[in-house]
């Protein structure tokens, strides 16, 4: 992760936009050595937003946890079985 002071970021803002898109990594912006902002590439921001949306969906998370437990117990269904079942419905 790149670390820049607010002054440095201000002077490099247009270049930062291009490098964020190219590198895909956030930039930490500091004020007097303390982190105060994170500058993110848009794709990363959207991915984080979607992740937060999924994590905040209680019924979906409950089903996901149940599915993980079933998988750990070996309760798996083959892809072929699912395909056959879906064709019937």
Q: Are residues 45 and 79 both part of a single domain?
A: no
Q: Are residues 66 and 83 in the same domain?
A: yes
14 or 65, which is more confident: 65
Q: Averaged over 62-85, what is the pLDDT? A: 92
pLDDT tens for each residue of 3-62: 999 999 999 988 888 888 888 889 999 999 999 999 999 999 999 999 999 999 999 999
Measured at the alpha carbon of residue 29, what is the angle toward residues 27 and 32, in degrees to the nearest 5? 155
Does 34 lie in the same domain as 62?
A: no
47 lies in the same domain as 88: no
Q: Do 29 and 71 belong to one domain?
A: no
How many domains does one find in the chain?
Answer: 2
Look at residue 89 in the predicted model and tell me its pLDDT: 56
Q: Domain containing 10: what range? A: 1-56
Both 77 and 89 in one domain: the answer is yes
pTM over 0.85: no
């Amino acid at each position: 992760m790149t670390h820049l002071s607010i002054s440095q970021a201000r002077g490099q803002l247009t270049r930062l936009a291009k490098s964020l898109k190219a590198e895909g990594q956030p930039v930490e912006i500091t004020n007097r050595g303390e982190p105060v902002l994170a500058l993110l590439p848009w794709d990363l921001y959207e991915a984080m937003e979607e992740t937060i949306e999924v994590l905040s969906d209680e019924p979906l998370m409950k089903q996901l946890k149940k599915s993980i437990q079933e998988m750990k117990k070996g309760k798996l269904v083959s892809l072929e079985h699912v395909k056959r079942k879906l064709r019937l419905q």
